[in-house]
Amino acid sequence: MTYIRSLISLVVILFFHSFSTQSQINKKWADFEIFNCEPIIENYLWAARTELTNLQYKEFLWHVKKDFGDSAHSKMLPDTNCWNKNSSYNNPYVHYYFQNPAYHEFPLIGITHNQAKAYCEWLTKILNQGYQKDEKHPVYELVARLPTEEEWIKAAKAGNPTATFPWKGIKLRNQEEKHKGAMMANFVRSKNQFHPTTDNINKIMDVTATVKSYWPNDFGLYCMSGNVAEMIDQPGRTKGGSWASKPPYIEINAKDEFEGWEKPSPMIGFRYFIEIIEFKNSTKNKTLKINAKYIESLLSELIYDSIYIGKFEVTNQLYHQFIGETGEIKHAPQNLKWAGNIKYPMRLVRNYSKNEDYHNHPVVNISKESAISFCKWLTEKYNSFEKKKLGELTFQLPTSKQWEDFARGGLNNIAYPWGGKYLRNKKGCFLCNYNPVQERWILDSDENFIKPGISTEQMREAGKLDGCEFTCPVDSYFPNSYGLYCISGNVAEMVSDKPISKGGSWGSFRQKILIKSEEEFYAPNPYTGFRFIAKKTVN
């Protein structure tokens, strides 16, 4: 026990430094390091280089016992008896696999999905504490967690969308002259072989191998196929196959051999992924200096006899000013609504409405009542200024008819605000921010146009074709003839007279961004914002 405690203390001391010299970071994505990880999607999603080891889990157990006592500690212990439940001759592994220092660098097995999640929660806390104290490290907050199936597949394929295995080609043996003939992973070669392919690299085990056995993939990740099947975020699901798997089950896109598992298994472990939530250089929304000239700059030329309309959808920065001045916290954006509507939502849950990165994006996740309260505040704000060119104004939401008239920009019989029937201009540039899924998966022009089998993930990926994963700055694309930006797409816009929104959003298909289209709007969501009109007050 003294040995283990001393070793764990050493690990704690080296926690943020021991892997720094081994990094294979893709410099295109990140110029910083995350403990034992490689970036797999830009700079905000990272994967652990290796499956979690016995030693790493022992460190977690030591902290659990120190902080929460023996009862919590015992609940987190791996079930080493799982070895006996699979093969009768495995009794020595029951006693030695987790306890003996000789197996420190072997993958952890024998735990439940909930125990893996508990480890990730603890690691989240430890890493955040360390990086927040490190003035030179750019990360302020992150989350350690189990990956989604899609994330795991991207990590395993390492940038090669057609990959069968984490390595190049479809051979199970190394094809390089220096290592020719050596097995590429730890698995069972055929139905006549029980023991896995650890013979020439592992003298003390004939099941699992150390976590840095074999060769890493192009992202620097080890043992993505074989060794232990790796848990994903869905309980009862794994990816990658194990030391006991036959070749078809270690393919990246293989059927899950262990689907439905519940009890600890000597064939199942996990690797954590890291999602970056916030960087230290992310600045909060700066105070906006609002005067009459600024408000007037947001308005179009006079339309009709007495109405101006906002050239832009109301931004996070302007709306943040409303919340700050009024103290009406009940009208603050409900950023948790991002969850379930976009991949990696935590970066938007935490940052979208308050950080400068998004200050020129449209406010979303607010109610119609909140938009009306904003308009009342802006009315009082503008009319309080002595130096104003436009006289007394009343700011409000447009009616649905007014919205359609403004969207047409004075033109008749047009489908879209730009006048044509196409969604790209002659140079091929998109004309608004919507989901162009039909450009990739089109079947016909009816409402039921999506091909059978097209997944939500494929729809989301198609949504990036126009250059925007979600909302975009409110002055993006091209204005209509009234000078109005993003009147179709970006965010659907509330109207005053009906519980609907107009114009479609970043998540809408092309039918919904037609001027005549409308969608129900009853509750805050990340697809709906608003723009105001300003009516001249008649004395």
Q: Which of 171-180, 367-376, 416-425 has the highest mean pLDDT?
A: 367-376
pLDDT for position 459? 62
Q: Which of 35-49, 278-292, 374-388 has the highest mean pLDDT?
A: 374-388
User: For 179-201, what is the HEC assignment?
Assistant: HCCCECCECCCCCCCCCCCCCCC
- In the predicted model, is pLDDT for residue 119 greater than 70? yes
Task: For residue 321, report the phi and psi dihedrals to the nearest 5 degrees.
Answer: -65, -40
Higher pLDDT, 100 or 421: 100
Task: For residue 395, report the phi and psi dihedrals to the nearest 5 degrees.
Answer: -95, 140
| pLDDT tens track for 25-58 | 455 566 788 989 999 987 789 999 999 999 999 9
**Residues 350-378: what's their mean pLDDT?**
93
User: For 273-314, what is the HEC assignment?
Assistant: EEEEEEECCCCECCCCCCCHHHHHHCECCCECCCEEEECCCC
pLDDT tier, 205 (very low <50, low <70, confident <90, very high otherwise): very low
What's domain 292-536's architecture? Alpha-Beta Complex (3.90)
**Residues 517-523: what's their mean pLDDT?**
96
| pLDDT tens track for 163-181 | 999 999 999 998 888 888 8
Domain boundaries, the chain: 2-16+31-279, 292-536
Q: Does domain 2-16+31-279 have CATH number 1.20.1260.10?
A: no
**Residues 295-316: what's their mean pLDDT?**
93
Length of the chain: 539
pLDDT for position 6? 41
Looking at 162-176, 289-303, 399-413, 454-468, which range is the least confident one? 454-468
Kindly tell me the number of DSSP H helices and DSSP E strands found in the chain. 13, 14
Looking at 113-117, 203-207, 297-301, which range is the least confident one? 203-207
pLDDT for position 8? 40
**Residues 438-447: what's their mean pLDDT?**
48
Residue type, 490: N
| pLDDT tens track for 125-145 | 999 999 999 999 999 999 999
| Averaged pLDDT score across all residues of the chain | 86
pLDDT tier, 427 (very low <50, low <70, confident <90, very high otherwise): confident
pLDDT for position 453? 56
pLDDT for position 492? 98
Share of the chain above pLDDT 70, in %: 83
Fold match between domain 2-16+31-279 and domain 292-536: yes
pLDDT for position 16? 41
Q: Decide: 156 and 252 in contact? Cβ < 8 Å.
A: yes
